[in-house]
Structure 1
C-alpha cells in the first residue's frame, strides 16, 4: 500500500507540474498577444493624435488632390494616392498631415521632385485602381535617362525599396519583413542577381550570375503555389565535384502555399548545410547523400529535416520526398550586412520580442502543435506591427523634409521658356556655387521676395493693409476684419461682395477694387529667368534634389548626372558656369 501511495503522489506531482507548465505557456501566449494588441492600439492613438493636430478631419478618398510636382500640376484622387496602405505615399496624402504640407501660392501641395517620374507613379496608381488583384500592373518605368530618378522616388515613397525589391515570387511586404527579421545581424539590402523566368533555369546560368557574390537569398515558387527558399552566407561556386560547407548562419524557410499554416524558418543542424556543384542550382543540406532543398533542371527536390530542422507540427503535413516543378526562382545578393552595435541589437531584441521564442516539445504532440502554431502566428503579426511602427516614425521626417516649409521657400524658374519649380534649400545644397549665392535667403529677402504671401494673410493682415490705403475709411478695415476676410478671399472680392459687407459708397468701392487689383499684380509669383538649356539645367536640378534628400537621410547617394552625347559639351559648360572651380567635380566627377 505504501508503494502505491508513493506512486500516486508522484503521479499527482507530475500532473500538477504538467498543468502548471501548461498554464504558464498559455499565460505567455496571452501576454504576448495582449502586448501586440497594446502596441497596435498605441500606434492608432498616435495616428489619431497626429490627425487631430495636423490633419484634415474631412479628408475623403473622393477628394481631388492638387499637386505641384516640380512645376507640373497633377490632379489625382486622394483614394488613388492612398490605396497602398503602410507606404510613405499613403502617409503623405492620408490627410493626417494636411496642415503641415507645404503649399504653393495657389494652394497646391508642393513636392520638390522630378515631375516625369512622379507622373509615372501616378499613372501606375491609376492603373492599379482598376486592376484585378490577380492581374496587378508592373511597377512604373520611364526612359532610361530618368529611370534612376524614378527608382529613388519609388523608394522615397515606400513603393519599392532594397528591403522590399520588385519580385515575381513574393508580393507581400510582410514576407520580406519577416525574412529581414530572420536574417538578424546578417541583414542587408536585396539586389536581384537571377530570375529563372527571364534568365533560364540552367545550372550554368545560375552560377554565372550568382557565383562568388557573397551572401544570397533564394526565393522559389512552385507550380502548385508553394513559396519557399533559403539563405546562404557562403557564396555559390561551380565546382566540378560536389563540395559541402558547414554554416552556422544558413537557413531554409517555407512561407506560404497549400496546407501551409504559418511561415517557418528552419536552421541548420550538424552536418553539411550548403552544397556547391556545377550541375546544381542552389543546394541546402547534404546528409547521407540527400539534400534538404536542391534545385536541378527547373525542379526543386525537398527532403526537409535532414541537415536542417524538421518542419514543426501543424505547418504542413509533409515536404519530404517531394520533387516539384518550379514556376519561378529568384536569387538576391544580400548587400551590406548590418553591423549592429550592442545597443542596436538590444533595441531590436526589445522591439522584436517574439522572434527568438523556442519551440515547445514538452507536451503531447497535439498540444505542442497548437502552442507552436500560435507562437509562429504571433511572430508573423509582430513583424507586421513592427513594420507599421517603423513606417509611422519616418512619416514626420518625410513631411518636414520633402513637403514641409513655407510658400516663400518655393522658387519658380523660367528655364528658357520651360517652367521648373524647386525648393530654395535644394538650390543651396552645394554651397560654393552660383546657384547658392543667387538664391541665398538673405539676398532673396533683400529683393523683397520673402515677404509673407498674400494668400497666407490672416484677417488681421487684411485689415492692416486696408488701414494703410489713403482715402479708405477705417470702417472699411473694420468691416473686412469683422467678416474675417483672408488674403485668399480678398483677391476674389468683387463689387457685389464688398456691398454685402456694407461698403456702399461708390468712390470707396472703386478705390478699394483698384487697390485690390494693384495688390494682385504686386503679389504675382516671382519667376527667375534661367537662360540655359532646359535639358542641361534639368539634369542639374534633378541631381540637387536627390542630393538634398540624401542629406536628409531620405535617399541613397545619387549617381552623377549623365548627359546624352549631343548635349554633353553644353552640359559641361553649364555645370562649370554654376559650379566654378573644384565644385564642378561634384557633378562631373
Structure 2
C-alpha cells in the first residue's frame, strides 16, 4: 500500500504540474493576444482622432467630390477614388484628411498634378467599379507624350491594382497568373525588378550588367503592337556564349484585350532552353524561340531549326516576319520566399492535440502581429504623404492663363528650379517690387508670366 500511496501522490503532483504548465502556456498566449488587441485598438483610436481633427467623420462613399486637377475640374464619387484599398488615393480621399487637403479659391480640392494622367486613371477606376472580375477593363491609356506622366502618377498614388508591383507593363491581376505558372515549375518567389529597358537602356550590355548571375528570372516584353510575351529561366543569365540547361524554363504570352487569351509553353528540350551571348539580350531556345537583340524581339525565324519549347496557337508573334520593335522590356529576379526569422512558439509537453492547438495559436498570433505592423507602417506613410502632398498653404494655389489655356498650380511648384525665370518671376522679392501681396495672387495671364 505504501508504494500505491506514493504512486498516487506522484500522479497527483504530475497532474498538478501539468495543469500549471498548461495554464502558464495559455496565459502567455492570452497575454500576447491582449497586447495585440490593445495595439490594434490604439491604431483605430488614432485613426478616429485624425478624422475628428483633420477630416470628416461623416464621410460616405456616395459623397460627390469636386477636384481641381491642375486646372481641370473633375467631379466623381468618393467611393470611386477609394476603391483601391491601401493605395494613397484611398488614404487621401478617405475623409480622414478633408480639412487638410489643399483647396482652390472656389473650395474645390486642388491637386497639383497633370490632369491628363489623373483623368485617365479616374476613367479606368470608373470602369473597374462597374465591371465584373471576369471582365476587367483595358488599362488606362494616354498618348506617348503623357505616358511617363501617367506612370509617375500610378507610382505616386500607389495604385497597384493597375500594374504588377514594380512593373509598367503587366497589370496586377496578371501577377497571380505568373506566380501560378512558376508554382507549376516549383520556382515561385517574390518579384524583384532588376532591369527595365526604357530606363536602363535597350542594349545587350545593359541587360547583362543588370541581369547576369542573379539566379532565376522572369523576362517580360511589350512590343509596339501591344503584344506582351516573355520567358522564365531557372538559371542565371551570363555572357560566356553557348546554351545552358534550364529544366523549369517556359515561355508565355499575356492577353491584352477581350478577344485574346494567355498561354504558357513549357520547355521540351531543356539542354537548349536558354542561350548566352554578349551581343544578345535574353534568348530562349535553340531555334530562337524568343530572342532579344537591342530594341527588337525575334521568334523562331529559322523554321528548319529544332525548337526547344512547345508551340501554341495563341502565341501572338508570327514566325518569319520582320522583328517586332520592343516598347519596353523588364526582367524580374525571382527571390525565394524565406521565413520571417521570428521564432514560432512550440509545445511538446502536452498531448498531441493540445500541442498542435498551442502551435496553431502561436502562428496565428505572429500573423496578426505582422498584419498590425503593416497597418502601423501604412498609417505612418499616410500621414507623411498627406502632409507632404496635400497640405501646402491655400494661398499658394495660383491660376495661369497661358495663351488661353488655363492652368492651376502651386507657386512652390514654379519655384522648384531656383534659377529659372518662373522661380524668379514668382519669388517674394519680385512680387514686392511689383507691389503685389503674395496672398492676393490668384490669376496670372501670359503677359504677366513672361514679363
TM class by shorter chain equals 0.5 to 0.7
Give the Cα–Cα distance (whole angstroms) in 1 for the partners of residues 105 and 369 of structure 2: 44
The alignment's TM-score, normalised by the length of structure 2, stands at 0.61
Are residues 134 and 46 of structure 1, via their aligned partners in 2, closer, same or farther at CA, if it must alter by over 3 Å?
A: farther
State whether structure 2 residue 381 is matched by structure 1 residue 372.
Answer: no
> Does the CA-based 8 Å contact 2:191-2:332 persist in structure 1?
no
**Corresponding residue for 2:185?**
none
Give the Cα–Cα distance (whole angstroms) in 2 for the partners of residues 409 and 214 of structure 1: 48
Are residues 298 and 334 of structure 1, via their aligned partners in 2, closer, same or farther at CA, if it must alter by over 3 Å?
A: closer
**Corresponding residue for 1:387?**
374
**Corresponding residue for 1:360?**
346
State whether structure 2 residue 66 is matched by structure 1 residue 149.
Answer: no
**Corresponding residue for 1:280?**
248
**Corresponding residue for 2:48?**
48
Give the Cα–Cα distance (whole angstroms) in 1 for the partners of residues 397 and 131 of structure 2: 36
The alignment's TM-score, normalised by the length of structure 1, stands at 0.48
Give the Cα–Cα distance (whole angstroms) in 1 for the partners of residues 80 and 6 of structure 2: 73
Q: CA deviation at 1:530?
A: 7.2
Deviates most, 41-50 or 12-21: 12-21
Are residues 389 and 138 of structure 1, via their aligned partners in 2, closer, same or farther at CA, if it must alter by over 3 Å?
A: farther
Q: What is the CA deviation profile of residues 75-132 of structure 1, one whole-angstrom value per residue up to 9, with x for unaligned ones?
A: 1111211223332212211222111111111111111111111112211221221123
Give the Cα–Cα distance (whole angstroms) in 2 for the partners of residues 55 and 94 of structure 1: 9
**Runs of 5+ in structure 1 lacking a partner?**
176-186, 195-207, 219-233, 241-275, 283-294, 300-329, 336-353, 454-522, 533-576, 578-589
State whether structure 2 residue 410 is matched by structure 1 residue 527.
Answer: no
> Does the CA-based 8 Å contact 1:66-1:73 persist in structure 2?
yes
Partner SS, residue 432 of structure 1: coil
Partner SS, residue 446 of structure 2: strand
> Does the CA-based 8 Å contact 1:70-1:421 persist in structure 2?
yes
Q: What is the CA deviation profile of residues 17-49 of structure 1, one whole-angstrom value per residue up to 9, with x for unaligned ones?
A: 433333233223222222222122111111111
Give the Cα–Cα distance (whole angstroms) in 2 for the partners of residues 331 and 6 of structure 1: 72
Q: CA deviation at 1:331?
A: 8.3
RMSD: 4.5
Give the Cα–Cα distance (whole angstroms) in 1 for the partners of residues 146 and 237 of structure 2: 36
**Corresponding residue for 1:130?**
130
Give the Cα–Cα distance (whole angstroms) in 1 for the partners of residues 436 and 191 of structure 2: 44
1:417 aligned residue (380, 396, 404): 404
Q: What is the CA deviation profile of residues 289-330 of structure 1, one whole-angstrom value per residue up to 9, with x for unaligned ones?
A: xxxxxx99489xxxxxxxxxxxxxxxxxxxxxxxxxxxxxx9
Give the Cα–Cα distance (whole angstroms) in 1 for the partners of residues 346 and 368 of structure 2: 19
Q: Any residues of structure 2 matched to 1:78-227 within 5 Å, and which?
A: 78-137=78-137, 140-160=140-160, 166-168=171-173, 190-191=192-193, 212=212, 214=214
**Runs of 5+ in structure 2 lacking a partner?**
180-188, 197-207, 219-233, 251-263, 269-329
Higher helix share: 1
State whether structure 2 residue 417 is matched by structure 1 residue 402.
Answer: no
**Corresponding residue for 1:567?**
none
Q: What is the CA deviation profile of residues 468-492 of structure 1, one whole-angstrom value per residue up to 9, with x for unaligned ones?
A: xxxxxxxxxxxxxxxxxxxxxxxxx
Partner SS, residue 367 of structure 1: helix
Partner SS, residue 98 of structure 1: coil
Q: CA deviation at 1:3?
A: 5.2
Give the Cα–Cα distance (whole angstroms) in 1 for the partners of residues 75 and 45 of structure 2: 31
> Does the CA-based 8 Å contact 1:101-1:404 persist in structure 2?
yes
Give the Cα–Cα distance (whole angstroms) in 2 for the partners of residues 77 and 190 of structure 1: 35
